[in-house]
Structure 1
Amino acid sequence: MIDALTARALGAELQGTIAGGRVQTIYFIAPQVIGMEVYANHKRSYLLLSAEPQRARALLVTEKLRSAAVALTPFLLLLKKYLSGAFLNRVRVIARERILHFEFDQREQGISTLVVELLGNRANLILLDAGGNILDALQRIPSTNTRARAILPRAKYFPPPPQPKADPLNLSDAQLRALLEKSPGDTLAERLVSTIAGTSPLFARELAFRVTRSTNSAYDAAFVPMLYEQLARVWNSPAAPSIAFENAQPGAVAAFTLTHLPNAESIPSMSAALEKFFGAEESYEAVKVPLREQIAAALKKMERVRASLQRELVSSEEIETLKLKGEMILGYQYEIIPGQTELHAPVSEESTLDIALDPKLSPVENANKYFDEYKRARDAMARVPERLAVVENDIAYAEQILNDLDLAESRVEIEQALEEARAAKLIRAAPIRSGGRAAHAHERQFMSPDGFQILVGRNARQNDALTFERAKAEDIWLHARGYAGSHVVILTNGAAVPQTTLEFAASLAAYYSRARTDGAVDVIYTPRRNVHRVRGAGAHPGLVTVREEKVLRVRPLAHENEKAD
């Protein structure tokens, strides 16, 4: 994920390479990804801007971009109107933030600014007029009681409110010491993240390693002088882009030299590093679309099978009625005249049984028809529930894989979802070419406001491992009720869990589920001991049964304090 140092490096690189150039072509690559061909310094450069959640990025790519079949929204049409043929005056970065401003000047429309907010799940592209008013945005966001900043046409643009953290370039040694002394967190890296603006978990671990030779060292005031020196050195030096590899796959990217990770190498530019890390110019969303369509088609087919099985199910009373109709026809066969279409057979003093007859059949043939229906219904009652349970589990698993695919944040995670879909015979797609054996991403990790570690599964198999291998019996397990989604576990270490931590974890369970766009979601929670794997036919990784659960209703939230792997 891009951090403030990466954004700063990008701003410097883009200002030095394409500022002053002219926009020749605009490309619409995916619903949340655009590109531009910019002619500057006597050559064509290709700028890619993505607001995809968790993969937001801005970079120059090496290959020519191409548009895809993307629905043209009002925002995309405005981009074409204001930026086609425009000159890129300058690229500016908001200090210690992940926000870039691209200022354009076009003959017909004049000055406009494209704001690229590389803010993870809140990433956005926003087009402003010369007065700083919003023309439109990729993601329109209304103002609410909990969100003061509105991103809507004609509203005044305001950047996200700054976090209450110290600016590393306006900080003395003594001030740094005082801030870290008061900061929450056990390790030096945790205190740096919560205290110093623009410090990502990756950068914090790098600083801790440079000072203590360990990424998990506890805070000690004796570290502050060297820490202050290293912090100032990175911020005051030119970018040194690098990538660390794990199992031949890019595992981390940074604008500074990665000394705390093995298999790290220097990369000539920030754009080259990001292109190597994220893959080729084709966006992950573009890769996901055909996979999603195949899984959705398989899901619809299974839903039709479920509906067919449900139609075969009849109650025991209805089954016995079929048998009774056959018996009554035989009992009254000598009273039935040829061509009769209905028999009214008394079954008690108060009621009669109305039995439809086929006028082309004899009484015995009509009776046998009902006996055959009775046998089929009786056999269905014996076999259909088990088949229906298998199909229900298959549908739940397909929905889980769709959720895994939607939330995949790297090519490794897309490949894992792809493997699961192929194993479940949902798709027949070739693997994504990744240049080596795919590494398995670790679960998402968060720290609650009360200091409890929270783990969130990234896919079905990881959900299974997290719940039944990593979590202990007394840990708290959470899941969005009635939706496919991540298993979420609060590691309690035997301590009572405060309500604030429960609500924090529940909001994560809601966000990392198929209900993430709903205004409010019911989330169940219970001690892990009350969660059990689904067994038998139709069992799949991550499918569970739960007992003694309680329910919290929360808003889905993607918290920014995720701890990097």
Structure 2
Amino acid sequence: MSFDGTFTHAMVAELQHNLIGGRISKIQQPFKNELVLTVRSNRTNYPLLLSANPLYSRIQTTNIRFANPDKPANFVMSLRKKIDGAIISEIKQINNDRIVVLTLETKDELGYSISFKLIMEIMGRYSNVVLVDQDNLIVDLIKHVPSSLNRYRILMPGQEYVFPPTTGKKNPFEDFSDTDLQDIRGNFEGIDKDTENELNYRLDHSEIKRVAFREFFKEINQKPYPNIVKNDQKQKFYPIKYLSASEDADHYPSLSEMLDKFYQDRAQTDRVKSNGQNLLAVVNGVLKKDYAKIKHLKKDLAKTEKMDQYRLYGELLTTFMHEVKPNANKVELTNYYNNEQIEIPLDVRLTASENAQKYFKTYQKLKKSIAHIDEQLTQTQEEIDYLESVLYQIGESQLDNLLEIKDELIAGGYLSKKSQTKKKKQSTKEVGNKYLSSTGDLITVGQNNVQNDQLSLKIAKKDFIWLHVKNIPGSHVIISDNNPSETTLLEAANIAAFYSKAKNSSNVNVDYVPVKKLKKPNGAKPGFVIYEGQKTLVVTPDSQLVEQLKQNYLDSKDK
């Protein structure tokens, strides 16, 4: 189901239980459309997420950690000034609509009690988070909506706050008539298609429809059963057990924990896509130029195939100069290498000798150009290979790794230094993702080219085993063992194939060598190494195996 009014009702009940009486101790805006308030309640910190993301708008507490941007947004500065330290005295839903109002009590600069309302409007692309003062004037909001965009509701600081227009439908948690049940979505507010289907299912299987209808909403109030159901590769979340849905459901302790699981991968992908758009545009732009350059260079190289013919023309013209008639545009001479007749084009403006010298010069020019063209082809192809690896890494990257990729592109001259992120304190973050083989060997995977270099050339011991897919962009993989078992080698090869451009292929070739056999040529791009004496394994990437090896490592950390 979607985050409809019925689900909002259940979520508000959960938030009321956890947050009423809590104090706002921290305010963050990690992303453009998402706000996180850390609420200290009952000796527990609850990060409250208010998301106005067009695709994932919602309100929930979350266990996902968010990093602060280098520069706080204006909206955050307004909130910190007005409601930092405020107490949440009330959380309510407007009818059964997707609007949640948090009433906040605090004190002004003179110590007088004042109140604010933080209003979460969960409305897809029209979602918003609005701070309203006790005079019902907008202090600030996450999305400004001037009159040019909406004449009915001007959502700008200083304007009077107006709730979205109501539908006039009934609240299904309150009183209703039997005739209302004939058109559930038409008569009741805040019910999406999935909830309507569930209600109709229950009504059809009940002798007394009125009782079945009331019991459904009573169950949401009293017996939440947060669960996610997967059907046909699609997932849906529900606040209680939906009898019309599949019985194969994953249950969660709370609605918020369920939403963390449901939205985490989707939201992460969306954020990476949003933050990676500029990087993708830069890399694709350079690649487009490089592909055109390769095409041009190959055309130039094809011209050099005729250079021996031009040399022959010059030799024959020099030898048989007396046979060339003045102002002729061609001449037929005997090729003394095979005694065959050959026709030689001539420039009518030049003498026989001058034509011969022209062919010799063209021959020398083409001969000298071969080395330059070959060098340019090699350099351009190396850049293409490098940028394709970066392109793959951007697509597979987590958000924090995008910053490392961005700095890598700046260092390579592909991005302006003006776009470089503010330098932070030295990170204590470990390099690479960790896995544990079935036989207990540590396997580490680089997440970008900078990490690949660090992992393979600085961190790994010389007798450790290095793996990489053959001739395909992918991550460097290190087995922290000088004599791993065949099982560990196959599992590490599977990880290498999974973290490569061949992750959706079968029978992927993966090379492996001791780290000491790796060499990085002078001036080589990040992540590029050469090696010899490798052995090759053939594997088919298995996502379940990779996940299990990841869990092996996490379990070992908990012991």
TM (norm. structure 2) is 0.54
CA deviation profile, 1:153-181 (whole Å, cap 9, x unmatched)? xxx68457x9xxxxxxxxxxxxxxxxxxx
CA contact (8 A) 1:401 1:420 kept: no
- Confirm whether residue 553 of structure 1 aligns to residue 541 of structure 2: no
Distance (whole Å) between structure 1 residues aligned to residue 365 and residue 406 of structure 2? 39
Change (3 A) 1:316 1:44: same
Aligned partner (choices 280, 293, 297) of residue 292 of structure 1: 280
Aligned to 2:5: none
Distance (whole Å) between structure 1 residues aligned to residue 16 and residue 171 of structure 2? 7
Aligned partner (choices 349, 353, 358) of residue 369 of structure 1: 358
Residue 295 of structure 1, CA deviation: 0.8
Residue 118 of structure 1, CA deviation: 12
Aligned to 1:504: 491
Distance (whole Å) between structure 1 residues aligned to residue 267 and residue 498 of structure 2? 26
- Confirm whether residue 346 of structure 1 aligns to residue 368 of structure 2: no
Partner letter of residue 444 of structure 1? N
Aligned to 1:390: 379
Change (3 A) 1:409 1:504: same
Partner letter of residue 16 of structure 1? E
CA deviation profile, 1:102-143 (whole Å, cap 9, x unmatched)? xx7337982479x99799xxx97548997756xxxxxxxxxx
Alignment of 1:226-265 (within 5 A): none
Aligned to 2:209: none
- Confirm whether residue 324 of structure 1 aligns to residue 410 of structure 2: no
Change (3 A) 1:512 1:339: same
Residue 483 of structure 1, CA deviation: 1.5
Change (3 A) 1:422 1:433: closer
Aligned partner (choices 509, 516, 519) of residue 529 of structure 1: 516
Larger Rg: 2
Distance (whole Å) between structure 2 residues aligned to residue 13 and residue 430 of structure 1? 43
3-state SS of the aligned residue for 1:529? helix
Distance (whole Å) between structure 1 residues aligned to residue 471 and residue 484 of structure 2? 27
Aligned partner (choices 45, 63, 76) of residue 120 of structure 2: 45
Change (3 A) 1:282 1:506: closer
Partner letter of residue 495 of structure 2? L
Q: Mind listing any 5+ residue stretches in structure 1 that lack a counterpart?
A: 1-9, 20-25, 50-59, 67-84, 91-103, 134-155, 163-197, 199-234, 242-254, 256-269
Residue 401 of structure 1, CA deviation: 2.1
Residue 306 of structure 1, CA deviation: 2.8
Residue 34 of structure 1, CA deviation: 3.5
CA contact (8 A) 1:46 1:64 kept: no
Alignment of 1:11-22 (within 5 A): 16-17=14-15
- Confirm whether residue 422 of structure 1 aligns to residue 410 of structure 2: yes
Aligned to 1:266: none
Aligned to 2:442: 453
Aligned partner (choices 453, 468, 475) of residue 479 of structure 1: 468
Distance (whole Å) between structure 2 residues aligned to residue 124 and residue 430 of structure 1? 42
Partner letter of residue 478 of structure 2? V
Change (3 A) 1:450 1:281: closer
CA deviation profile, 1:381-421 (whole Å, cap 9, x unmatched)? 2333333332222222222222332222133x111100111
3-state SS of the aligned residue for 1:546? coil
Alignment of 1:121-160 (within 5 A): 125-126=235-236, 132=244, 158-159=248-249
Alignment of 1:77-88 (within 5 A): none
Partner letter of residue 549 of structure 1? Q
Distance (whole Å) between structure 1 residues aligned to residue 268 and residue 507 of structure 2? 37
Residue 532 of structure 1, CA deviation: 1.6
CA contact (8 A) 2:477 2:496 kept: yes
Distance (whole Å) between structure 2 residues aligned to residue 557 and residue 295 of structure 1? 29
Change (3 A) 1:457 1:47: farther
Residue 444 of structure 1, CA deviation: 0.8
Change (3 A) 1:47 1:556: farther
Distance (whole Å) between structure 1 residues aligned to residue 292 and residue 53 of structure 2? 36
Change (3 A) 1:482 1:106: same
- Confirm whether residue 110 of structure 1 aligns to residue 110 of structure 2: no
3-state SS of the aligned residue for 1:455? strand
Distance (whole Å) between structure 2 residues aligned to residue 280 and residue 88 of structure 1? 34
Residue 316 of structure 1, CA deviation: 8.3
Change (3 A) 1:504 1:391: same
Partner letter of residue 435 of structure 2? F
CA contact (8 A) 1:456 1:489 kept: yes
Partner letter of residue 443 of structure 1? G
Distance (whole Å) between structure 2 residues aligned to residue 551 and residue 468 of structure 1? 21
CA contact (8 A) 2:407 2:420 kept: no
Residue 305 of structure 1, CA deviation: 2.2
Aligned length: 372
Distance (whole Å) between structure 2 residues aligned to residue 547 and residue 390 of structure 1? 21
Considering Cα pairs closer than 8 Å and 6+ residues apart, tell me whether 1 or 2 has the greater RCO: 1
Change (3 A) 1:375 1:402: same
Distance (whole Å) between structure 1 residues aligned to residue 442 and residue 536 of structure 2? 21
Distance (whole Å) between structure 1 residues aligned to residue 501 and residue 228 of structure 2? 25
3-state SS of the aligned residue for 1:533? coil
CA deviation profile, 1:242-295 (whole Å, cap 9, x unmatched)? xxxxxxxxxxxxx9xxxxxxxxxxxxxx99xx99xx999982221112221211
3-state SS of the aligned residue for 2:530? strand
CA contact (8 A) 2:469 2:497 kept: yes
3-state SS of the aligned residue for 1:545? coil
Aligned to 2:57: 35
Q: Mind listing any 5+ residue stretches in structure 2 that lack a counterpart?
A: 1-7, 18-50, 60-97, 103-117, 132-140, 145-166, 174-189, 200-225
Partner letter of residue 468 of structure 1? L
Distance (whole Å) between structure 1 residues aligned to residue 527 and residue 412 of structure 2? 13
3-state SS of the aligned residue for 1:283? helix
Distance (whole Å) between structure 2 residues aligned to residue 48 and residue 548 of structure 1? 60
3-state SS of the aligned residue for 2:473? coil
Residue 345 of structure 1, CA deviation: 3.7
Distance (whole Å) between structure 1 residues aligned to residue 130 and residue 475 of structure 2? 33
3-state SS of the aligned residue for 2:519? strand
CA contact (8 A) 2:228 2:237 kept: no
Partner letter of residue 528 of structure 2? L
Aligned to 1:173: none
Distance (whole Å) between structure 1 residues aligned to residue 357 and residue 247 of structure 2? 78
Partner letter of residue 506 of structure 1? A
CA deviation profile, 1:53-86 (whole Å, cap 9, x unmatched)? xxxxxxx9997579xxxxxxxxxxxxxxxxxx99
CA contact (8 A) 1:521 1:555 kept: yes
Aligned partner (choices 515, 519, 532) of residue 502 of structure 2: 515
Change (3 A) 1:87 1:552: farther
Distance (whole Å) between structure 2 residues aligned to residue 89 and residue 521 of structure 1? 56
Distance (whole Å) between structure 1 residues aligned to residue 508 and residue 330 of structure 2? 54
Aligned to 1:307: 295
Distance (whole Å) between structure 1 residues aligned to residue 484 and residue 534 of structure 2? 17
Q: What is the Cα-based RMSD across aligned positions, in Å?
A: 5.0
3-state SS of the aligned residue for 2:474? coil
